[in-house]
Every structure is written in C-alpha cells, then in structure tokens.
C-alpha cells in the first residue's frame, strides 16, 4: 500500500505524543499501521430518523476492520425537522446542513483520516454528509440509515403526514381528538426517517444515482437487520478505494451524475428540497448546477413511481419490489439516465443496476407506461418570480389556479388564519419574508400546508412563499420564490385582492396587476 494520508499523525520521532493519544484509545502497533477510516453518524436521541445508526455503525466498523483498516467513529449534529416544525426552531434546519458538512470537514482534515463512511438519517443530514465527503475528497462511501415502517390505522398504511393532516381534520370536525390521539400513536411505529418519498428518502435515492452510496441500500427499512450486511460492505468498499487510490467523491460527482440524481428525484415525485440540495452538492464538487438544470431534467423524465405524498406507496413498498435499483434500471432502459457514470465500487451505474429486477407495474412502472410524461417537480418563472419558483406536481390534479391574494407577513400569521379558517376557496395565500434572508433560515411550511389539506382545502387554495416546503407537502404549494421579499422581490408588491395566476403547464406564475401600478407601489 502507498504512503497513507494518516501517516502524518503516526510516523516518526516527532509523532510520539500523537501515538500516545491513540494508544490511550486502545490502538496498538498493528492498528496504527493501518489506514484510519472515519465513520460519521448522527446517532443520538434528537430524532427517530437517526436512531437506526447504532447497529449499522458497528457493522461498518467491523467491515473496515475485516478489510484491513482501523475504524474511527465520530458523530455530528442533527436537527429534527419534525420536532422543529412550525416554530422558531425551523430556522435552524437548513443551516444545519452546512454545520454537518463543516464538522465532517474539520474532523477528516484535522485528523488526516484516509477514508470516510458517512451515515445520513434526518433530512439535512444526507446532503450535509455528501457535501462533507466532497470537501474532503478522500475515498468515501455514503449510506442512508433507512426509513421507518409505515403504521397501520383504520385498515390502511399511515405515515407521519397523516398526523399533520389530522390536525386540520379535527379543526373541521372531520375527525375527533380521540381518533387523532390514536393516529398519533400509530403513524410512526418504529425508528427511522419518514416513510414516504419525502426529503430523506428522496436524497437517499439521489445518493445512489450520484454513485456515492452503497448500491441498493436506500429503501431497506431502517429496522431491518439486513442493513448490517450493507454497512459491513461499506467498510470493504471504502478500504478497496483507499488501497486503489480511488475513486474519490469528486471523481464520481460530475454534471452527468448530478443529472442522474435529478432524474431519480423527478421519476419518483421527490421532495422540492432536492432542488436546494443537489446544487449545493454540485457546488462542493466545483460544478455550477442550478434550479434551471433541475427543471430541464424534470421536463424530460417521466414520473414512474407512485409514492407518497402524491401517490399511494412508501419506501417499504419500494424495497419489497426490489429497491432503488428497480427505479434506476427502469430509467436506464428508458434512456433517462446515463449508465456510464462511476459509483463508489468502481463499477458504472449500468454495471451496478442494469440487471436489477424490472418494475412491478404498481409501485414502479416502466418508463413507457409512466404515470406522467414529465417529472414530479416544475420550475415556474414570471413577474412574481423572475428568478424562479418551485412546485411539486406529482399527484396534483389542478395544474392551473387563478385567484385573489391574501397576504401574510410571516408563517405564524398564516397559521393563525388557517387554523381559524379565515380564508376562502379560490384564494392564493401569499406567505412572505420567510426566505433565507427574511426568515432568516428559509423555514419549511408543512404545518400550514398539512392543516389546509386536513381541512379538505388542499387543491381549493394555493400557497405561495419565499420559504420552502417539507418533502411531505402536497397541494398547490409554490415555494422558493426568488428574489425573496427581504431583498426586494416582487412578493413585496402583492396586496390583498390582487389576482395571481399559477400556470404549471406553461411554467408561469404571474401577478395580474398593471405594470404602472406595480411601478407606483415600488416607488412608494
């Protein structure tokens, strides 16, 4: 084996104190001679999403040791988007992604580790870990900790989204509080991330399409013991990469692999948050990739997976029909992703996924029998969003909505109005000052959108914001409006009663007010 990166901490007379620190942790001469492999996770009690990491981390450590390395475990922070939702805590959610990447970079560079295995769980941890991998650019493998099993309630599968929407149902009298209390205790029966194709599962699939992940691990439920085998394999994969000198993350993440990731997001009706995270991952690889690139891929990629929140099925259902590999195989067969891209194993996407099972026809379809001809995300432009806005269209029946605006200056004002049912069918709820600058922090709005849906108003009103939405959000919800209100974007000009038109087929969102009137408002 060539000289190791970690030798700078271990070899020579001057490193006597360094070795003493390591010996204090139980390392002997044999362990000190081997590659040092960092293993980062978020195991802890902040959120059920990361509580599956424990046994998998132990398996990864075993895999590293069996392959001739010395595993070095460390942890980083994690928010819980669920517990942080709908209050000031959500302002810390998106920024936690950067904190995770920063902390991984600090440890891997600071301790000169030779390789890295990174676990993700709750939403922002997945892009945060992948961003950290790219910054460090040592041989690295990503592995998602897995989602929770769906619950069973009233004879049907339920997820955490049902509890959010149940709040709105109680407000309208469609459900009583006793029933909601039973649902609360049924909707999340195990640890693991949210069970639908929300942000965590979306980015888990994207990690496979990027080539950064252990193949076909993403949709295995987090409590399934077979995950230990995949985690152990991660140890073998990273050690092979260290011994070969690659591939490294920046060898794997290219413009084409980023497009592959976007294709999987589009094909599965994935989270709008992917349009934030994939460009951020690209940035760490030195690649300019923006919301228009995401839209271009979505326009040419069919929707082939019938997944919640817009569809019927959960991550477990995808696992039961063959996992993410089935989706990637279908997209390969349809010519919607590039099979020549590299993966962490050293094999290509086509070599890794080309022989996967074919779609079952219900959970996942062939590209030629798609649910829709284009993907689950759409970027809108227009005089209300000159730099773009984003909407999830998977499962959406209403593609054009025009109505009068009702303006709110922050999320709390909108929540109070919605809870009081102080809004009307046909309206466009404008929720401004919630962008990255205005929030600050660009909060998710699942609390308000789920209540609207629970009140049976899901596609009867639209919600437009410079904030963002949870991957669990459904309905006519337009987020990421840019420029945001806090920097003088057109949302600042909207007044109660102004007509707003959302036209998804034509990718437009416009404020239907004369330009002279808008100019006068801006000058006032």
Q: Is there a catalytic annotation at residue 41?
A: no
CB 82 within 8 A of CB 253: no
Q: Which of 271, 273, 263, 262 is nearest to 196 (CA)?
A: 271
Q: One of 93, 163, 470, 482 is an active-site residue; which one?
A: 470
CA torsion sign, 30 to 32 to 34 to 40? Answer: positive
CB 509 within 8 A of CB 500: yes
For residue 106, give every residue at least 6 positions away whose Cβ sits within 8 Å of its Cβ, in sequence order, or none: none
**Alpha carbon distances (Å) from 404 to 123, 484, 511:** 34, 20, 10
307-479-266 Cα angle (round to 5): 35
Q: Which of 88, 86, 79 is nearest to 126 (CA)?
A: 79
Q: Which of 32, 87, 340 is nearest to 211 (CA)?
A: 340
Q: 227-232, long-range: CB within 8 Å, 24+ apart, which pairs?
A: 227/52, 227/55, 227/56, 227/59, 227/145, 227/146, 228/55, 228/56, 228/58, 228/59, 229/59, 230/56, 230/143, 231/56, 231/57, 231/59, 231/60, 231/63, 231/143, 232/59, 232/60, 232/62, 232/63, 232/66
DSSP label of 212: -
| Cα–Cα dist 364/452, whole Å | 29
Q: Which of 40, 120, 124 is nearest to 80 (CA)?
A: 124
List the catalytic residues: 470
């Amino acid at each position: 084996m060539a000289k190791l990166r970690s030798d700078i901490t271990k070899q020579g007379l001057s490193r006597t104190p360094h070795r003493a620190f390591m010996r204090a942790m139980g390392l002997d001469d044999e362990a000190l001679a081997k590659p040092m492999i960092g293993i980062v996770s978020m195991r802890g009690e902040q959120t059920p999403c990361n509580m599956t990491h424990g046994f998998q981390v132990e398996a990864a450590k075993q895999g590293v040791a069996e392959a001739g390395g010395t595993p070095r475990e460390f942890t980083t922070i994690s928010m819980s988007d669920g517990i942080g939702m709908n209050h000031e805590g959500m302002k810390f959610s998106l920024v936690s992604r950067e904190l995770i990447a920063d902390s991984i970079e600090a440890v891997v560079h600071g301790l000169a580790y030779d390789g890295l295995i990174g676990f993700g769980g709750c939403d922002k941890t997945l892009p945060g870990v992948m961003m950290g991998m790219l910054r460090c650019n040592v041989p690295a493998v990503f592995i998602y900790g897995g989602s929770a099993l769906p619950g069973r309630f009233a004879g049907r599968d339920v997820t955490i989204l049902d509890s959010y929407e149940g709040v709105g149902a109680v407000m309208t009298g469609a459900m009583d509080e006793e029933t909601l209390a039973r649902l609360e205790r049924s909707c999340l029966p195990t640890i693991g991330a949210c069970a639908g194709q929300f942000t965590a599962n979306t980015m888990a699939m994207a990690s496979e399409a990027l080539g950064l992940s252990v193949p076909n691990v993403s949709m295995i439920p987090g409590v399934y013991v077979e995950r230990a085998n995949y985690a152990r394999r991660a140890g073998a994969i990273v050690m092979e990469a260290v011994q070969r000198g690659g591939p490294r993350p920046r060898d794997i993440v290219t413009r084409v692999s980023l497009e592959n990731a976007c294709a999987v997001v589009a094909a599965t009706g994935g989270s709008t948050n992917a349009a934030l995270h994939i460009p951020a991952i690209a940035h760490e690889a030195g690649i300019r990739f923006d919301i228009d690139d995401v839209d271009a891929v979505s326009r040419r990629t069919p929707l082939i997976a019938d997944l919640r929140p817009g569809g019927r099925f959960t991550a477990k259902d995808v696992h039961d029909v063959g996992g993410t590999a089935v989706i990637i195989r279908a997209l390969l067969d349809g010519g919607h992703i590039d099979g020549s891209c590299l993966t962490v194993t050293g094999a290509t996407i086509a070599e890794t996924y080309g022989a996967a099972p074919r779609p079952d026809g219900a959970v996942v379809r062939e590209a030629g029998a798609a649910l829709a001809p284009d993907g689950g995300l759409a970027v809108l432009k227009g005089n209300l969003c000159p730099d773009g806005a984003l909407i999830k269209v998977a499962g959406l029946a209403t593609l054009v909505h025009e109505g009068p605006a009702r303006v709110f200056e922050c999320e709390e004002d909108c929540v109070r109005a919605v809870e009081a049912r102080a809004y009307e069918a046909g309206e466009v709820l404008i929720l401004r000052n919630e962008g990255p600058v205005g929030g600050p922090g660009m909060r998710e709005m699942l609390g308000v959108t789920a209540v609207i849906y629970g009140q049976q108003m899901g596609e009867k009103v639209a919600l437009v914001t410079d904030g963002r939405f949870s991957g669990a959000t459904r309905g006519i919800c337009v987020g990421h409006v840019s420029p945001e209100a806090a920097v003088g974007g057109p949302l600042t000009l909207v007044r109660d009663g102004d007509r707003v038109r959302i036209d998804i087929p034509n990718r437009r969102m416009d404020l239907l007010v004369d330009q002279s009137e808008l100019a006068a408002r801006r000058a006032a």
